[in-house]
Structure 1
């Protein structure tokens, strides 16, 4: 079998991304005739028409749809490999990075991160946005540079992931609450009125599963969408908030925190980004900063 012409991958990426021979030709700065010849070579090499006529336009074949994302990634990887090394000048770097995080992360890690950035790259700004869901689209389309969270089955498989820290749940109540005095048993904990944190409106989780094994059930009085809201309610009432320990360290200042009286599994909070930014020197510098700060 003759060696394949890898230049055809660039042509294939343009054709599949544009869905038009004319637009693909313009993207690659080729004449229409040269583009038509390249498409003919692709069709012959792959044994598939790739684009077929549908009325006045063209539509991709099932084979083309199957390959579109893979080919796009291959071309990006090749471009990153062949890109000349850049020297990052932090003193003159002017850029705004968008970070999507859950409540508590900014309060806990933001001050040190901002201080380190101001010291090393004064022209860099951070734009923190809340994380209302697990949708990966904002990372895919480049509107978000970095995201923190727990990896789940719904996380886009192409995203790059680096573990930041391990965390576990603790309870938090106002000072003077009955749980702030004496031993906290599973039954005492379960008998209180609880706040449940869920962006999707769920009313049970791992803590409830652990209580059920002991024959106990806690009463969920209120469901909220974030840790800050849960702790704000607990701070001003007799409600009990159960939140991630490290993620909410700053938010729990001035409250009484305690280890949960039932065992729950630790979980890993990770840093996520799209592969398009993996080789970007400035992006890599910021990722390293975040990882160093969280490791401390």
Structure 2
């Protein structure tokens, strides 16, 4: 079937139902009536000879065919959007656009303050939404335009995803100010004598520092495993436990606790931080502006 015989608005409806999981919410999102959304869905069902969505309780669950076409549909819609936006000049001073940025929670405290300070100064009506997106979904979300950019460690993504190095970070160790065993310096033997906090969102598994220790046949004792560095820093300030973490975040989170920040007593690979975006917005004026703001904010934070 030739594309000229297909109403492309149907695919906007398809994406809205897929994203919202509900005809009611899709109608609210698109500012259309529920009968109009249902009519569009019926036309799509006839076009593909597939139900596309099946109702399970209050949720519209996509069929295998719908799951197989959602990524190319989103990429195509994003391509149209970029083409249309490319015909318009992006003016940060007057724009009311809201950008979506994928950002691990470990980076939020160090990235967001300088970035938002720049955005607030240069673009008073521009908004910023930060999200934590699974790394497996990162490429498809960038391609679909549901994400404008992402900041993360080095990831194995396709050539369609562009990247640039934003910053490098080192690993440090935190112990409380008056720790009885640590007085301004920490060697490897002293590190291994301490009890440790491991910060991770995973239920189990070693950290990067544990891999480096294991290369030498060494192992530390983890006494506490928790989810967030703020809680870990506070625990360090009130116990004799040690915390190993990225230096950039340590200097932000530790400001109110005054723990000692010491070099990790073993050679560790640097923690490289990258900015990612999709090739289809390489020359998009709004995306170029956002990437520039992120780069300058990171430079200012160093």
Query: Does TM-score exceed 0.5, indicating one fold?
Result: yes
Q: Give how far 1:123 is off.
A: 1.3
RMSD over equivalenced CA pairs, Å: 4.6
In 2, distance between residues paired with 1:61 and 1:98? Answer: 28
Residue 256 of structure 1 is matched in structure 2 by: 260
- Which one of 101, 104, 107 corresponds to residue 105 of structure 1? 107
CA offset digits 1:7-33 (Å, max 9, x no partner): 79998x96xx68xxx959979xxxxxx
In 2, distance between residues paired with 1:252 and 1:8? Answer: 61
CA offset digits 1:183-209 (Å, max 9, x no partner): 422121011110111111224123122
Residue 175 of structure 2 is matched in structure 1 by: 173
Q: Residues 8, 209 of structure 1: CA spacing in aligned structure 2 closer, same or farther, 3 A cutoff?
A: farther
Note if contact 2:176-2:239 (Cα within 8 Å) is conserved in structure 1. Answer: yes
Note if contact 1:104-1:250 (Cα within 8 Å) is conserved in structure 2. Answer: no
In 2, distance between residues paired with 1:201 and 1:176? Answer: 31
Q: Which runs of 5+ in 2 are unaligned?
A: 16-38, 53-61
Q: Give how far 1:98 is off.
A: 3.8
In 1, distance between residues paired with 2:121 and 2:242? Answer: 40
Q: Secondary structure at the match of 2:262?
A: strand
- Which one of 139, 148, 153 corresponds to residue 151 of structure 2? 148
Residue 195 of structure 1 is matched in structure 2 by: 197
Q: Secondary structure at the match of 2:267?
A: coil
Note if contact 1:97-1:126 (Cα within 8 Å) is conserved in structure 2. Answer: yes
Greater shift after overlay, 258-267 or 201-210? 201-210
Greater shift after overlay, 120-129 or 72-81? 72-81
Residue 272 of structure 2 is matched in structure 1 by: 268
In 2, distance between residues paired with 1:132 and 1:197? Answer: 19
Note if contact 1:210-1:264 (Cα within 8 Å) is conserved in structure 2. Answer: yes
Which one has a bigger Cα radius of gyration? 1
In 1, distance between residues paired with 2:246 and 2:79? Answer: 37
Q: How many pairs are equivalent?
A: 269
**TM-score, normalization: structure 1?**
0.68
**TM-score, normalization: structure 2?**
0.67
In 2, distance between residues paired with 1:82 and 1:89? Answer: 15
In 2, distance between residues paired with 1:109 and 1:245? Answer: 13
Q: Give how far 1:281 is off.
A: 3.0
In 2, distance between residues paired with 1:189 and 1:271? Answer: 33
In 2, distance between residues paired with 1:67 and 1:287? Answer: 29
Residue 27 of structure 2 is matched in structure 1 by: none
Q: Which runs of 5+ in 1 are unaligned?
A: 28-35, 40-49
CA offset digits 1:191-230 (Å, max 9, x no partner): 1110111111224123122223334211001111122222
Q: Give how far 1:6 is off.
A: 8.7
Q: Secondary structure at the match of 1:247?
A: helix
Residue 285 of structure 1 is matched in structure 2 by: 289
Note if contact 2:172-2:247 (Cα within 8 Å) is conserved in structure 1. Answer: yes
In 1, distance between residues paired with 2:252 and 2:63? Answer: 52
